[in-house]
Amino acid sequence: MAALNATFACIVFLLLLFSSTNNCEAKCFKSIISFGDSLTDTGNLIHLSENSNYKQQQIVQCGSLPYGETFFHRPTGRCSDGRLVIDFLAESLGLPLVPPYIGRKNVGSRNFREGVNFAVAGATALNHSLLEELGIYNPQTNVSLGTQLRWFKEMLSSLCQSSSECKDFLKSSLILFGEIGGNDYNFPLLGGMPIQMVQSMVPLVINNIGQIINEVIELGAETLIVPGNLPLGCLPAYLDRFMSTNKNDYYDPNTGCINWLNEFSEYHNVMLQVELNRLQQLHPHATIIYGDYYNALMQLYLSPQKYGFKSAIVACCGGKGPYQVDISTQCGDSSANVCDDPSTFVSWDGIHSTETAYKWMAQSLISGPFAIPHINELCTFKVYTT
């Protein structure tokens, strides 16, 4: 599967590069509109705990210390010790940090003129009822990408007086579309579902993501960043769950990551890029950017010391074991272990990254080779030097 994925990836790269070349006109953005899951949530899941219409954990893991300790010095609902990729993108554009939709929507739509975030920790691309038909249960929330699209439409109806006004607003907005889809795989894989069954879901996940991107473009969006999935085989939660004594073909000798899980992530990402190319051909006026989170993070896994990390595949915050995660102890529990310096770790809690790693990912999207086309060709971004 790895060889096939590599071939597809090369083809998709060339297609995306070719199809996007004429769309890279210089433009700046007046707001950021975001969809996604815990990689992007800036507080929606916490606010949903006050609404009985949405299922969520009784205690929201990311809503307690040490989450938020590094930058905000308090929990904000971000699943990290500090800022996320979306925060660094906003700061780079000179925009305020993007507020969550839930909890702010009753204050007044004017608050969303410079950005709004619909991402919810635990959200899936597929509707929860479809996942349950497949035997997959989400313990965190019943919010899906479809739910976020509905919120997006509600926001537009309160913000704009006409279709043309909404299109003008969206034309000047940068749309961050995920990462989304990871939880559709996390719940079944970590729950023990065979990889063959989970892999059969990929076309469903990709098709749903594509349909909703298409609808957002038809409503007026013109510039979208769509990140791919992470290298699952490098995440401490997966390394702990699928630990093996087979060292030869099971683990990558250069990273210590699990090969078959990373091959699965690459398969999703290849299929996503094929879909983005189809959408780009369908909407030549739009600029659809593939955000290569996989390879951006892989640089850190391959050479952690080069980038100032002492550990890439061990969690900063969690339980015991070789990867500092275990099923009985979560980051945020009173019994959890927390490292002294999160900036020297890539992984924060076994699934999510540290602020330092997210900063690297944001920099890689803005000025590095991990966005096609490069985002800094579209607008002037502040470049971080520290």
Q: What is the pLDDT along the chain (386 residues), one digit of tens a residue?
A: 544 444 444 434 333 433 333 333 335 899 999 999 999 999 999 888 766 555 554 446 899 999 999 999 999 999 999 999 999 999 999 999 999 999 765 444 447 889 999 999 999 999 999 999 999 999 889 999 999 999 999 999 888 889 899 999 999 999 999 999 999 999 999 999 999 999 999 999 999 999 999 999 999 999 999 999 999 999 999 999 999 998 888 999 999 999 999 999 999 999 999 999 999 999 999 999 999 999 999 999 999 999 999 989 999 999 999 999 988 899 999 899 999 999 999 999 999 999 999 999 999 998 878 987 777 777 665 554 44
- Give yes or no for a contact between 127 and 150, defined as CB atoms under 8 angstroms apart: no
Would you state the pLDDT for residue 24? 37
CATH topology of domain 2-309: Rossmann fold (3.40.50)
pTM score, whole prediction: 0.90
Distance of CA 152 to the CA centre of its chain: 18
Tell me which residues are annotated as active site.
38, 349, 352
The 3 state secondary structure assigned to the chain is CHHHHHHHHHHHHHHHHHHHHHHCCCCCCCEEEEECCCCCCCCHHHHHCCCCCCCECCCCHHHCCCCCCCCCCCCCCCCCCCCCHHHHHHHHCCCCCCCECCCCCCCCHHHHCCEEECCCCCCECCCHHHHHHCCCCCCCECCEHHHHHHHHHHHHHHHCCCHHHHHHHHHCEEEEECCCCHHHHHHHHHCCCCHHHHHCCHHHHHHHHHHHHHHHHHCCCCEEEEECCCCHHHCHHHHHHCCCCCCCCCECCCCCCEHHHHHHHHHHHHHHHHHHHHHHHHCCCCEEEEECHHHHHHHHHHCCHHHCCCEEEEECEECCCCCCCECCECECECCCEECCCHHHEEECCCCCECHHHHHHHHHHHHHCCCEECCHHHCCCCCCCCC
Would you state the pLDDT for residue 23? 39
Place of tokens 């096939």: 4
Contacts of 351 (CB under 8 A, 6+ apart): 38, 79, 186, 235, 236, 237
Would you state the pLDDT for residue 378? 74
Would you state the pLDDT for residue 247? 81
